[in-house]
Amino acid sequence: MITLALSKGRIFDDILPLLTAAGIEVLDDPEKSRKLILDTNQPDLRVVLVRATDVPTYVQYGGADLGVVGKDTLLESGSLGLYQPLDLQIAKCRISVAVRQGFDYAAAVKQGSRLRVATKYVAIARDFFATKGVHVDLIKLYGSMELAPLTGLADAIVDLVSTGNTLKANHLVEVETIMDISSHLVVNQTALKLKHEPIRKLIDAFSQTLAQSATA
C-alpha cells in the first residue's frame, strides 16, 4: 500500500488533474465527506488528508510515503531530509514583503532602524532580511498576517500572495518579492527504497504529464 498525504483546498484541487493523467481517481470528495483516509481506484494507493503544515511531518516519519507540499512550508520546516524529486508547478504563488499604503519601506530599510515584521514564515523572513543586512524584529503569527500593519503590531508582513486581492482589500502594498512558490512532491527515503517500484511509477507519471504540459 502507498499512502499519499495531501491537504484540502488548493493543493488537493490542483493535484487532481495530475492524478487523473496518471490514471488515479480519488473516490471521495474531501469537501463533502468527513473521511480523512480516501480510497482511490487503485487498490494499492490511498490518500490521507492532513493540514498543509503537517505534510512534511507525516512523510518524514512514514505516516505517509509521499506528500504534496508548498515550498514555503518545506523551507519553513527545514525540509527534514525528505527526497524532493519534483516541482509539481501547482498552487503557485509568491512570498512577499508587504506594508501599509503610504508606509515608506525604502526609507525604513535605509535608516537602519529595526523593522517590525509579522509573519507565519519566521525562518524564511529571517534568512531574507539577514541576507539584505536589514535588522528586523520578527513577530510570529499563525494567521491573518494582513491585520498586523493595520493595527500597529508590525511595520511589515511576510506572507503568500497570489492575485494580490487580499493585500489590496486591506490597503497593503507588496514592496518586495522574496521568492516564487509552488508545490513539490516529497517522498519518505525509506519508502523510496522499500516500495521503489510503485513510487517510481507515480513520480514518472507525474513528470511525464508535467513535461507534456510544458511543451503544450
Compute the least distance from the CB of residue 91 to ligand PRT, in Å.
4
94 touching ligand PRT, by CB under 6 A: no
Contact between 9 and ligand PRT per CB under 6 A: yes
Long-range Cβ contacts of 197-203 (<8 Å, 24+ apart): 198/2, 198/44, 198/45, 199/2, 199/65, 199/66, 202/2, 202/22, 202/45, 202/66, 203/85, 203/86
Residue 47 burial class via C-beta count within 10 angstroms: exposed 0-12, middle 13-18, buried 19 and up: buried
Q: Does 172 bind ligand PRT (CB under 6 A)?
A: no
- Between CA 82 and CA 57 the distance in angstroms is 10
Our finding on whether 42 is near ligand PRT (CB under 6 A) is no
215 binds ligand PRT (CB under 6 A): no
Q: Which of 170, 166, 121 is nearest to 142 (CA)?
A: 121
**160 lies in the binding site for ligand PRT (CB under 6 A):** yes
Compute, in degrees rounded to 10, the torsion defined by CA atoms 42, 7, 74, 214: 60
Residue from 3, 7, 60, 188 binding ligand PRT (CB under 6 A): 7
CB 140 within 8 A of CB 63: no
Q: Given the complex with ligand PRT, which of 93 and 124 has the nearer CB atom?
A: 93
The DSSP secondary structure of 13-30, one letter per residue, reads HHHHHHHHHTT--BSS-T
| Amino acid making up residue 56 | P
For cell 511543451, the residue is 215
Binding to ligand PRT by residue 166, rule CB under 6 A? Answer: yes
Q: Which of 52, 86, 172, 187 touches ligand PRT by CB under 6 A? A: 52
In the list 20, 41, 162, 212, the residue contacting ligand PRT (rule: CB under 6 A) is 162
Residue range at the interface with ligand PRT (CB under 6 A); choices 26-34, 67-75, 97-105, 199-207: 67-75
Per rule CB under 6 A, is residue 93 in the interface with ligand PRT? yes
64, 72, 98, 188: which one binds ligand PRT (CB under 6 A):
72
Name the residues that contact ligand PRT, by CB under 6 A: 7, 9-11, 51-53, 70, 72-73, 91, 93, 159-166, 181, 183
